[in-house]
Amino acid sequence: MTDPNAGRPTEATSSDAPAPTPGAAQPGTSTPGGSEPGRVTEQSSAPKPGSGPKPGGGPKPGGGPKPGGPGAGSPRPGGSAGAKPHPASSHVATVVPTVAPASDPSKFGRVDDDGTAWVTTADGERQIGSWQAGDAAEGLAHFGRRYDDLATEVGLLEARLTSGTGDAKKTKAAASSLLESLPTAAVIGDLDLLARRLDAVVEHSDAAAAVAKHEKELERAEHTARKEALATEAEQIGSESTQWKQAGDRLREILDEWKTIRGVDRKVDDALWKRYSKARENFNRRRGAHFADLDRERGAAKVRKEELVERATALSSSTDWGPTAAAFRDLLVEWKASGRAPRDADDALWKNFKAAQDVFFAARNAAASERDAEFEANAEAKEALLAKTHIDPSKDLDAARSALRDLQDKWDAIGKVPREKMQELEGKLRAIEKSVHDAVESQWRRSDPEAVARAAQFRERVAQFEDQAAKATAAGKTKDAERALAQAQQWREWADAAESAVDEL
């Protein structure tokens, strides 16, 4: 049995790029809480012994916030405190984070002359480390840059969450990790603002995750529906289509499209693939059976046509033109009803069959041409015979009858003429025959004793009625006399007509 997964396209598992490790340095930045060898010593908890605030502690004059300047917890320049990012659709592919201007570390901390570094938050002032690689201003700038690096990481997380380009769960984890590191971060800047921003990222990560999940489910449903439609189409092709070439091409197109559709649930995808695979197997099985039947039919057609070629070859030498031509027509009907043999064999068999036909019909045409030439000569001979024959039955009927018999004998001896001249020549002969026949009939009617006797009988009847009229007149029977005279007149007319007919003949 064929494996239903054979030929199945495999799907590469894609995953979102991992979020940066909390506190990890971005290209061209330093890691908060790290150290530059040989330059800075930083701490994340208790102040270094001997490096705490001087007696009378508090911020170093000039080291705290400037009079009238923003105090601890003031919004970062160019931003708004507590701004909450909004989850966006995950279809955005590229994120370009906004590069914030460098912060002013002097507003949020100081570096003492002895190198001790301090940061000020809403919870108060906290020692973050010691600067030994330069003067206090350089140290303050250094820890400010550390803060800017940390703020950049937060900005990247916000941008990733807003655009939906990353995994919201990973973004939340990274934000939580950064948030936990803020109390020990060796940076000088508005840590309270960063905390609020990170809180907003954590808060909205769940909503962004829900949006991403919903969109992923919609995409999965769309892809599932597309594969469902492809599987249904494949099933229809597999069970119904007989357009083997087009259907086979379409199944391959479906497979190519299938490979491009990702993100379908594995179990559902397996079931849909089995449907497609089964449909393809069904189509291949039906197509194979069709062509197997076709091969058998073509083999049988080849045998039948070979027999027809043998019969045609046997008839090709016949000179019985009419019946053989009819036999060839019957063979051609059988040939068409035999179906197609395999292409090469069918072409060769037809060539042989046609060659046998051509031999016979070429011979028949040659014989017909020879016969036509003979018939044309016969027509000319009959024309000449008619031209020199003069028969006039009105002058001598017996001589005319003798000449006609001689003409008919010679006419038959000459033979057949072309079909197109037959009617004309036969018409001329029939005209001569008719003239002689009519003369014979006329002579016979004139000498017919029955016609003469019939005319004499009519005259006798006339005499009888005239005698009856005379007797009736003598007896004084006027009406009888008139009736007898009328009948006598009628018979006289009939007698005249009979005598005229005999005279005309």
The string over 220-253, giving b where at least 16 C-beta atoms fall within 10 Å of a residue's C-beta and e elsewhere, is eeebbebbeebbeebbebbeebeeeeebbebbee
Which are the contacts of 425, defined by CB distance < 8 A and separation ≥ 6? 379, 382, 383, 386, 417
Mean pLDDT in residue range 391-405: 80
Give the integer Cα–Cα distance in Å for 149 and 143.
Answer: 10
Output helix, strand, coil percentages for the chain, rounded to the nearest 5: 65, 5, 30
Q: Which two tokens stand for residue 41?
A: 């010593």
Angle between helices 136-163 and 168-181 (to 10 degrees): 160
40-42: strand order across its sheet:
40-42, 124-131, 116-121, 109-111
pLDDT for position 32? 36
Q: Is the pLDDT of residue 447 over 70?
A: no
Q: What local confidence, expressed as pLDDT, does residue 101 receive?
A: 65
Confidence class for position 49, pLDDT limits 50, 70, 90: very low
Mean pLDDT of the region 99-125: 85
Q: What is the pLDDT of residues 131-185, one digit of tens each?
A: 988 888 888 899 989 999 999 999 998 888 888 777 888 888 998 999 899 899 9
pLDDT tens per residue, range 342-353:
888 889 989 998
In this prediction, residues 4-27 reach a mean pLDDT of 43
For the record, the structure tokens of 105 come out as 């570390």
Nearest to 338 by CA among 296, 299, 305: 305
Tokens standing for residue 259? 């490979």
Q: 317 is written with which tokens?
A: 């030498």
Buried b / exposed e over 156-167, threshold 16 CB at 10 Å, is bbbbbbbbbbbb
DSSP 135-154: -HHHHHHHHHHHHHHHHHHH
Decide if pLDDT at 21 tops 50: no
Choice among 20-34, 189-203, 283-297, 399-413 with the minimum mean pLDDT: 20-34
The CA R_g of the chain, rounded to the nearest whole Å, is 65
Q: Of 197-211, 258-272, 487-501, give the lowest mean pLDDT range.
A: 487-501
Range in 45-49, 166-170, 208-212 with the lowest mean pLDDT: 45-49
Average pLDDT of the residues in 296-321: 88
Residues 270 and 435: their CA atoms lie apart, in Å, by: 105
DSSP state, 49? T
Per-residue pLDDT tens over the stretch 75-93:
333 333 333 444 444 443 3
SS (H, E, C) 22-45: CCCCCCCCCCCCCCCCCCEEECCC
| The token pair that represents 505 in the structure block | 């003949």
Residue 46 has pLDDT above 60, yes or no: no
Name every residue whose Cβ is closer than 8 Å to that of residue 432 and which is 6 or more positions away in sequence.
389, 391, 404, 407
Q: Where does the pLDDT of residue 503 fall: very low under 50, low under 70, confident under 90, or very high at 90 and above?
A: low
d(CA 340, CA 297): 8
Residue 67: the pLDDT is 34
pLDDT of residue 248: 93
Sequence-separated (6 or more) residues with CB below 8 Å from residue 237: 247, 250, 251, 279, 283
- 8, pLDDT greater than 70: no
Token pair 């030929």 in the structure block, residue: 7
Across 307-324, average pLDDT: 88
Cβ–Cβ < 8 Å for 411, 385: yes
Tell me what pLDDT residue 281 has.
93
Which range has the worst mean pLDDT, 47-61, 187-201, 258-272?
47-61
The distance from CA 478 to its chain's CA centroid, rounded to whole angstroms, is 114
Residue whose C-alpha is closest to residue 258's, from 275, 243, 244: 275
Q: Summarize the confidence of residues 238-253 as an average pLDDT.
A: 92
Give the integer Cα–Cα distance in Å for 201 and 196.
9
Q: Is the confidence at residue 68, as pLDDT, over 50? A: no
In DSSP terms, which residues pair with 126 in a beta bridge?
119
State both tokens at 430.
Answer: 């029939």
289: closest CA among 279, 301, 297? Answer: 297
Contact 178, 23 (CB under 8 A): yes
The 8-class DSSP code of residue 56 comes to T
Find the mean pLDDT for residues 97-118.
80
* Beta-ladder partners of 131: 40
- Grade residue 424 by pLDDT with cuts at 50, 70 and 90: confident
Whether the pLDDT of residue 449 is over 60: the answer is: yes
Q: Which two tokens stand for residue 192?
A: 């309270």
Within 8 A by CB and 6+ apart from 444, the residues are none
- Mean pLDDT (the chain) is 76
Provide the whole-model pTM: 0.41
Q: How confident is the model at residue 17 (pLDDT cuts 50, 70, 90)?
A: very low
Question: Is residue 280 pLDDT above 90, yes or no?
Answer: yes
How would residue 225 be classed by pLDDT, with cut points 50, 70 and 90? very high
Task: Taking residues 63-70, report their average pLDDT.
Answer: 36
Q: Is the pLDDT of residue 224 over 80?
A: yes
Element (H, E) at 194: helix 191-240
By the 8 A CB rule, do 23 and 175 touch? Answer: no
Q: Is the pLDDT of residue 69 over 50?
A: no
Position 7 confidence tier, pLDDT thresholds 50, 70, 90: low
